[in-house]
Amino acid sequence: MTPSEHNLDVTRNLRLVEWLKCEMLSGMASFYRLMLKGSRVSQEALADVLANIILVAYLLARRMGMTYAMIDLKIHSKIKLGVTEEHEVEKWYRDLSELAAYMNRNRK
């Protein structure tokens, strides 16, 4: 790779990171707008916005030098910690245990 090609690649990566950050903020803003509407919002609309936020988070992590597996390991670690420390969402609803079971079932 020539120096100019390297500079172009770095510039392209920086632009992509900035775009992904904007997408993340836009997704969060959309999520909050939908939540303001309350019960008038469809599950489909919420699922679409949340899926986009998660997708952008994975892509942003990749552009920052992390692997998808690294992010998955961090998620699993945080779930395990939440279960161990009896986080409120686990203690009250067992959501973390349910998420862990779901993720374990769907591992490839």
* This prediction's pTM: 0.88
What is the number of residues in the chain?
Answer: 108
30-89 pLDDT per residue, tens: 999 999 998 888 999 999 999 999 999 999 999 999 999 999 999 999 999 999 999 999
Does the structure show a pLDDT above 80 at 6?
Answer: no
Q: Does residue 56 sit in the same domain as residue 84?
A: no
Residue 107: domain span: 67-108
How does residue 106 score in pLDDT terms, banded at 50, 70 and 90? Answer: confident
Q: Does residue 17 sit in the same domain as residue 56?
A: yes
Q: Cβ(56)–Cβ(23) under 8 Å?
A: yes
Q: Does residue 44 sit in the same domain as residue 62?
A: yes
Task: Give SS3 for 57.
Answer: helix
